[in-house]
Amino acid sequence: MPDIQLPDGSHRQFPEPLSGLALAQAIGSGLAKAAVAMRVNGRLKDLSTMLDQDAEVAIVTRESADGLEVIRHSAAHLMAQAVQSLYPEAQVTIGPVIANGFYYDFAFARGFTPEDLEAIEERMRALVKENLPVHRELLSREDAIALFEKMGEDYKVEIVRAIPEGESLSLYRQGDFVDLCRGPHVPSTGSLGAFKLQRVAGAYWRGDSRNPMLQRIYGTAWAQQKDLDAYLQQLAEVEKRDHRRIGTELDLFSIQEDAGGGLVFWHPSGARVRRVIEDFWRSAHVEAGYELLYTPHIAHEQLWFTSGHKDFYAESMFDPMQDEGQPYQLKPMNCPFHILIYKDKLHSYRDLPIRWAELGTVYRHEMSGALHGLMRVRGFTQDDAHVFCRPDQIEAEILGVLALVQKILGTFGFSQYEINLSTRPEHSVGSDEIWDAATQALRNALERAGLAYQVDEGGGAFYGPKIDLKIQDSIGRKWQCSTVQLDFNLPERFAMEYVAEDGARKVPIMVHRAIFGSIERFFGVLIEHYEGKFPLWLAPVQAVVLPISEHYAAYAISVSDALMKRGIRVETDLRNEKIGYKIRAQTLRRVPYLLVVGEREKAADTVAVRDRDGQDLGALTIDAVGIALQKMDRERSNTLEWQG
């Protein structure tokens, strides 16, 4: 009589062994309908698994994280079955679950086409309608080799041969399809349905360029059709907001391959936005008690041995350059430079905390295949800051950092965060005492700031605990930007000291801190967050004056000059085009305000104001427009207000 303990702590006893599906049915028909697998004593199992002993069992439903993984894994098998049904000569290799979906690699003589993907997806839907039962089988290693050799599945044979002799292997069958797999899987193909095949890419067998090139088909699968529809809609939004496309359309930046991949060229419009971002960043830091630093782009290679970067980070650093027989290294990080400034003189406990910030450009040797617009580059400017403090000051300093993070990110329109507190990993430096105190200080600061967080046990760096913050953009994506890391390692490596109150020499705590992460990546996030429609205070051009004909060009220029004197970033469109054409063109440029002038406006010393969404805001005096735009810019507001 198996005694089954359920997640709510209740127990169910049964007179004889039963399957996971039978357990779900005994609990409730709704649960059985939603079930796709179960956890038995913490391990994922098929619903067909027999429960013949006392156990803790949780039914896994299709909406849960575990359920989605089972669905996506099963959808991968469904796709492989459909491929081999249509193209029997195709060999299957591996097909794992990935974020939001799955893929399968195939060995096939020709390239899969978009038409092939449509046919494969149609066949998948036919297999769903057949509601084929999915069965798990155990085979010896030798029997599995014989099976796959008979099937002509050379890649599967290679996989099985790599498994130690004497082991049993699990296979899954659905209809005439069989594959090597640990599972679990849905009970039948009818449990699937909300899926979509997305694209084909090349992939080397086992990720090795010396091996044959395979074809990787990507797909996505969800618990329900509405979830799939929402995801596909988000993908459409992502494509529409792609910062690379918008960056080109608005002439913000470029990657010049003649100069090398991953190196960003800021065009005048993008540079204007960057200047506004940096000016705000600097003023916010000065107000928060930081001093601003500037440090070199290179340093003697020995510095990077002292810091440990040459031992632990060398693959991400460019090769040294030689000068007069001495090796110099492009900096991958700013921290050692700030430490050298700290060590330039002896500090007292009264000097601490010391807060230093720098917009410092660093260089990382990223693989060319990993480069991606502004999101992954080789040269970028970190909004770096370091705080040197005493152990008793950690909590207050972290609280100050969190306040500054919220102020700056909130100003840019980000108020939804995911926060993780990462604790001591297995391999680390520093005493238990300092780790415990530092981790508790981070925890206290988060709680005092009223910020919800999750604990990532063992996820800290080897040199100290940390807080990582992800911002949520306008379409729900999360971006890792801000990080706060305590460091017990570098102060020791560089023999940093301060004179304590009792005259003893002690080692300060070092706090690494970034809010944007990098200017480049954050700018890319901003472009996609706003779809290029920056709020007025960030817009490269805040207003454009549009004369309806060349007869009003002089008046348009006078309007532009008056606004420029108020500090407004304004342009005048003097092209010999119809006013409708110019309005459409400037709307596509996403300029916040369009100021149309003609005979009536010239006579009244006014402008006709439109916003980029097409709303007619009426006729305003030049002074009223200037005052309103100045106020919006100064207050970083999105509302145009003026005195009538």
Just list the catalytic residues: 335, 364, 382, 384, 386, 466, 512
Upstream peptide bond of 508 is cis (omega within 30 degrees of 0): no
What are the DSSP calls for 125-144, one per residue?
Answer: HHHHHHT-BEEEEEEEHHHH
Quote the Cα angle for 151-155-160, to 5°: 90
Distance CA 94, CA 160 (A): 12
- Burial 482-495, CB ≥16 within 10 A → b, else e: bbbbbbbbbbebbe
Angle (deg, nearest 10), helices 154-161 and 141-151:
160
Question: Contact at 8 Å (CB) between 297 and 328?
Answer: no
Q: For the chain, what is the radius of gyration of the CA atoms? A: 31
Provide the b/e sequence for 82-111 (b: ≥16 CB within 10 Å). bbbbebeebbbbbbebeebbbbbbbbbeee
Count of CA atoms in the C-beta half-sphere (13 A) of 11 = 7
The DSSP call for residue 464 is: B
CB within 8 Å of 440: residues ≥ 6 apart: none
Alpha carbon distance 562, 544 (integer Å): 13
Taking the C-alpha atoms of residue 445 and residue 404, their distance in angstroms, rounded to an integer, is: 13
Query: Looking up tokens 């199992």, which residue turns up?
Result: 45
Is 570:586 a contact under the CB 8 Å cutoff?
no
| Nearest C-alpha neighbor of 514 from the set 330, 304, 358 | 358
Joined together, the tokens standing for residue 357 give 């910030």
3-class secondary-structure state, position 506: strand
DSSP letter (8 states) at residue 505: E
Q: Is 335 annotated as a binding residue?
A: yes
Identify which of 330, 337, 340 has the alpha carbon closest to the alpha carbon of residue 310.
330
Yes or no: say if 353 and 389 are a contact pair by the CB < 8 Å rule: yes
Q: State the chain's maximal CA–CA distance in angstroms.
A: 96
CA 230 – CA 241 distance, rounded (Å): 16
**Can you list the positions of beta strands (E) in 151-224?**
168-174, 177-180, 195-204, 213-221
**323, 325, 327, 305: which is closest to 314 by C-alpha?**
305
Interatomic CA distance for residues 301 and 329, integer angstroms: 5
Spell out the alpha helix ranges (H) of 241-299.
243-249, 268-287
11 is in an annotated binding site: no
Helix spans in 112-181 (H): 114-130, 141-151, 154-161
Q: What are phi and psi of 192, to 5 degrees?
A: -105, 175
Count the helix, strand and coil residues of the chain and give each as a percent rounded to the nearest 5: 40, 30, 35
Nearest to 278 by CA among 552, 95, 543, 522: 522
Looking at residue 587, the DSSP 8-state letter turns out to be H
Give the Å distances, CA to CA, from 160 to 155, 156, 164, 178, 338.
Answer: 9, 6, 9, 14, 54
Which residues sit in the known binding site for Zn(2+)? 335, 386, 512
